[in-house]
Amino acid sequence: MKKNKRVPIFEEYKKCFSFIKESKKFIYFITAIFFIFVLIGFFVTPPESVSSLLFDYIKGILETTKGFDFQQMFGFIFSNNLQSSFLGLFFGIFLGIFPLFSSIGNGYVVGFVLSKSVLEEGLSVVFNLFPHGIFELPAVFISLGMGLKLGFTFFQNNWKKKILKNLLNSLRVFVLIVFPLLIIAAIIESILIFAF
């Protein structure tokens, strides 16, 4: 009898997709929170002090990336997204607070930037920005969702055993799915920045 030989990497990806499916309610929740705060940031005018802080934040990014070539821009975008995604996952272990606030904060900033961009360039800017997030946002939502799941593990029975299992599964998904998505996202965003 010949044994069924399975390619190890396929098995690892199968585990990844299985864990993502298992974590889907947390990923959906994070996604919903993000878009709710995108709408809040878009339609609700913040106090002057908050607007000033956000403008300073955006201005700081523009000044930092001024004069960057393609490789530098790619490195900047990728490292920022990687750090944000990993911290959202890892620090989710503290009762899921960090990924939740990360989703709220990022959603609000995106909504705020969109509102100012639409005022200056029209509604078409929303569709122009869509390719920037097509790979980045799913990667971030998956990371934050898994981070939230980690935090909620503490409220379950036998949490000590489950927390290690969930952490290992989350790291597998991060390496095999989130990491490649962030590379693709950084390449696309860098190309679009230099193309337009």
- Mean pLDDT (whole number) for 50-77: 92
Task: Determine, yes or no, domain membership for 189.
Answer: yes
Residues 6+ apart with CB under 8 A from 74: 186, 187, 190
Task: Determine, yes or no, domain membership for 38.
Answer: yes
How big is the chain by its Cα radius of gyration, in Å? 19
Task: Determine, yes or no, domain membership for 17.
Answer: no
* Sheet strands (E) in the chain: none
pTM check: above 0.85 = yes
**Structurally, how many domains does the chain consist of?**
1
- Mean pLDDT (whole number) for 135-158: 94
Domain that holds residue 156: 22-61+68-195
Lowest average pLDDT, out of 9-13, 56-60, 119-123, goes to 119-123
Q: Which residue has the tokens 């393609």?
A: 70
Task: Determine, yes or no, domain membership for 3.
Answer: no
> Looking at the predicted structure, is the pLDDT value of residue 3 above 60?
no
The CA-based dihedral angle spanning residues 108, 113, 115, 120, taken in that order and rounded to the nearest 10 degrees:
170
pLDDT tens for residues 162-192? Answer: 999 999 999 999 999 999 999 999 999 999 8
Instruction: Residue 128: name the closest of 195, 38, 43 by CA.
Output: 195
More reliable by pLDDT, 58 or 104 = 104
Residue 156 CA: distances (Å) to CA of 20, 21, 38, 152: 19, 19, 31, 7
Task: Determine, yes or no, domain membership for 181.
Answer: yes
Instruction: Residue 114: name the closest of 90, 133, 142 by CA.
Output: 133
pLDDT of residue 5: 55
Task: Determine, yes or no, domain membership for 2.
Answer: no
The angle at the Cα of 35, spanning 136 to 144, to the nearest 5 degrees, equals: 50
pLDDT of residue 1: 44
| Phi and psi torsions of 154, nearest 5° | -65, -20
Task: Determine, yes or no, domain membership for 158.
Answer: yes
Task: Determine, yes or no, domain membership for 142.
Answer: yes
Rounded Cα–Cα distance for residues 164 and 162 (Å):
6
Residue 9 CA: distances (Å) to CA of 14, 24, 177: 9, 22, 12
Spatial contact of 84 and 140, defined as CB atoms under 8 Å apart: yes
pLDDT tens for residues 108-123? Answer: 999 999 998 888 877 7
Lowest average pLDDT, out of 126-130, 135-139, 177-181, goes to 126-130
Spatial contact of 112 and 46, defined as CB atoms under 8 Å apart: yes
